Structure formats: structure tokens, C-alpha cells
Structure 1
Amino acid sequence: MSERTPMIEMCNVSKHFGSVIALSDISVQVHSGEVMCLLGDNGAGKSTLIKTLSGVHRPTHGEIRLNGEPARFKSPAYALDAGIATVFQDLAMIPLMSITRNFFMGREPTVGWGPLKRIDWKLADRIAKQEMGKIGIDVRDPSQPVGTLSGGERQCVAIARAVYFGAKVLILDEPTSALGVKQASVVLRYIAKARADGLAVIFITHNVHHAYPVADAFTLLKRGGSLGTFRKEDITREEVLNMMAGGAELESLDAELAEFQRSDTERADADTSGVRPPLAAGQ
């Protein structure tokens, strides 16, 4: 794996906002046909990282490489033209517009030329229906408002849109965070399909239970820094959880909870025995 050229790579990337260090010396590699999960709690730097990859921010230090070549994106449009598609949490969809309109978003197929040029709605509807069918979602009427779909299905519309328009790198920002178990499984299934189709997928989440089944590798972020990158075969789900939460913090929490439980037990024993605990001075 290491001998192949990564599809996308961050090399010692840092991002500063004035005196605030949002990212510090981050290096990540993602190959085609691979799912890299970026894991971290709130404030770990996940959002800044994906905005840097997708052209919203420019790195303060370091370099981004696309298929081995240095890449500098002036805006998200340049990143999209280069094949980097980002699906943010808000999905950039208009609920009252049709599935087809949301699928194409201004890139609808046309017929005719010059002043007679017009949108080919029949072809657009057929493409939207076919692309959704490929991921197992049967859309009876692609002209129905996208707001009538479930959360998981709307995520899949956004992902299918990115894939259809030639994405080589697919960045997913917390796609399962607000979904139930069944809806999340739909999205995870499509992430696995995108990997099988040869895309390089970056899956940002704080939910290890969603990340572990589909991931090939994990990069753990904490307070803007990287705790390392690990292949799935080299780390267990429990080890990932422990690193995210912090072993020392968990041990401290366990000790505090045990102390609370001991105090509650002593108070309950005193109440049942009729012996009241001694009053503090002045009571």
C-alpha cells in the first residue's frame, strides 16, 4: 500500500487563525479504493481539516498533494474541479426543490442550442432515478421534493451527486451524526460501495461504532494535533475508543464514579440502620 501514490495527501499541514493554532503538523494519506476515518471529539480540528482539504482554507504551513502533485486551491470550486467533493453536514440541499433539481444543482443536461437551449427534464429525471437506484434507493418520482426523503436518503443523494459528477476524493462530514440505526446503515453501505468503485473516501466522525465497520485506516485528532494513523488490522475498536477518550481521563472518571457510589452506599446503610450520619460543625 505504501508504494502506491496516494490519491490525496496532507504533508505536515498546519493552519493558524491569528494566534489560534487550529491544526498542527498534520500528515494524512488516502489511496484510491480506501476509506480513511478521521476521528476526534468536538474541537479536535476535524472541520478545519476538511475545509483545508476542500479549498475553504489555505494551509498556513505544509502542502496538499493530489495524485502526487502539489495542489493549491483558491476556492472550493477549484477543489471540486480537481475531483475533491465534500458533503457537509447541512448537505447544501433545498428541501422544497425536487430530487432531480437537488441532484444536478445547476448542472442539468440540456438540449438545443443558442436561444433555443433548454433543460432536458426527462433525461435529468431518468439519471437521478438511475443513480439513486444504484445504491438501493427506489425513487418512485424524482420530481418529488427532496424534503420528503429520510435523512439517510438525503445523504445518499448528496453522495451520489458527487460520484456522478466525477469525484475522485469524497469527503464526508459527519454523515451519520443525526441518523438512526437503519438510516445510518444506508449511508455506511454506500460508503463501502464508493470504496469498491475506486474512490478515496475521507469519513469524518466521532462515532467509532459507525467508523470501524467501513474503515481501512484511522487518523485520530485531538486538539488540532494527530495522535497517529493506524491500519484497521493493527488496532481494535476498543483501542480506538480508548485513544479518543483518553485512557487517563477514563481512569480518573472511573475513580470518581466509584467514590460517588461508595458515598451513596454508606448513606443508604446509615439510613436503613437508623443511625444518622454525624452533623457537620455548626448544624
Structure 2
Amino acid sequence: MIRHNTEIDTVAIQFDFDSTDDQYQVFNIFQDYIRDEKLGYLKKIFNSKAYKSEHELLYGQTRILTIQTGTIQKKINKNKTQYYLRIKVYGLKSYNESLDKASFKAFITICALSNTFGFRFRLCELDIALDVFIAFENMLVASIQKSPNVRYNNLADIQFYQDGATSYIEDYRNIKARNYAVLRSYLYDKSAKEKLDYPITRFEIKLQNRFFINNTLTIKSIQKTLDKYCIMYFNEINIKQGIINNLKKISNNRERELYYLLTLGHFRLSHNVDVLQEFLWQIETAYLDLFGNLKIPMLPLQGKYYNPFQNF
């Protein structure tokens, strides 16, 4: 079996308020704590939309997260305005150890501060990645369960960019459709993007805001989503090409296509949902003790405790 790791990459949380006073009180608490704990340099960035304000947290010259405040007009009651604060981390696994550590520390510290003060938040974006230590050419992803009203790209279609090759599973060339999608997924050359000297290919599933609005957030609901994709690796390119040819021949018969995909188990890779469970546990239970130290309780698993992260 080829080496592969499940990773959490981009993640965003949202706080909702009934008044702008509450909104900016929480923002100011975050701003002061980020400065006092030297988590990075918080810089206001220009935004042309009057209802939205945005700051970015820099580690060196690299953006690690943004804090966005804004308003939403309620659809049901148009006289009711919802105020929100959204924090988004732009990657927790870039294979730059110091950057990844700084990103995680900043994000989990904000979660801990929120949990300690009782600021309620919800997930509004989550990227779940499967990193496979093999070249991009040796990977293939096919959709097992296609969603209605969603367009899909042809199997193994590739787009080339300056930072490597990418295969988009869903076809979201329409930006509005992309932004309102429940999820998106794509396979790309992670080693090229991060300029690594060893091969890594990443399959990433982006759970967007609509996913968390439309679904009860449980490990089971996320596992069901992960199971919609058949992620495969091949030591020999000719075997991969043969499977692509076979799938294209039967692509007009969904039942035959699904049956054929289910016979390819010896090529398939799966996510480790324990990693996801641990991450969700951490952001829900991290807290600051009486001395202001960050604490992350260990997750009980089958009578044992395990925690892959060190307390900072």
C-alpha cells in the first residue's frame, strides 16, 4: 500500500451576532489577544464592499488567516440584519513546518479563546485532503455518487497551471454556481505547488458553507460525502489508462459504471476519519486555563487517549 495521509487544510468558522456592538466587541477581543500573544501581524486590507471589513494575519510575509466582519440581510425577515464574524485559515498542511505550526497555533488559540469566553461558532468551510506520496500521473479519481443538478468534468481531464496539474471532478466554471455549491473536489500536484523535492498528489474535498447549512455535522455525514469518490493509485500507468478506457466505454450506463468501480478495491485509498474526529474535538474543546495557557483535551478513543498535537 502506498503511503497516504489524511490532512485538514483550509478551515473557516463563523460567529453570528444580533448587533454590531457585539460583533465588534468580539473582534476587538480577538485583535488584542493576537497582538498580546504575538500570533502574527494583523493588517487591515482594502475591501470595496461597504458592508464588509477584512483583516489578514501575517506570519512573516505570508497570510495565514483572515478575519472578516460583515452583515447579511435575512431572507425571511428583510428588516432583520445578521452580523457575522468569519475566521478563515488558508491551509494547515503546506509541508512548511514553521508555517503550518504558526497557522494551527493561531487558529486553535482563537477557538480556545472563544470556548473560554463562551463565543459560539460554527464551521462554514472545511477542506479534507488525502495526500498520497506518489506522482500526479499515477492517480485517478472517479465520482461514485453524482449529485443531481451538478455538472461533472470528463474523467481524468487535466488543466495545467504554473504550479502544476489539476483535475477538477465537478465542473464549476460558473463562479456563482461554484460559490453556492455544497462541495467541490479536485486532484492536484501538491509537490509542484509547494515546490517540494518529493512527490505528493493531493485529493481535496472542499465542504462549503451550504454543506454545513444543509447537513447535521457528524462524522457519519462527512464520511458519507467522502465515500462519493473512488480514489485510486497505480504503480503502472498503462493499468490506469486501461481503467480509464473501460470507464469511458460504459460511462453512459451508470449501473455498469458503478459496478465496475466497486471491483477496483485493490487500487483504492480511503480517508482516515479519526484525523477528522480529532480535529473537530480539538476546536470544540480547546480552552485557556487560569494562567492564559492553551490547553487541548485529549480525545478518548476506545478507553485510551490520544492527541497528535502538542500543547503550545
Q: Normalised by the shorter chain, which TM-score bucket? A: under 0.3
Per residue, is there more strand in 1 or in 2?
2
More helix by share: 1
Instruction: Report the TM-score when normalising by structure 1.
Output: 0.26
1 or 2 for the larger relative contact order (CA 8 Å, sep ≥6)? 1
| Larger gyration radius, structure 1 or structure 2 | 1
TM-score by length of 2: 0.24
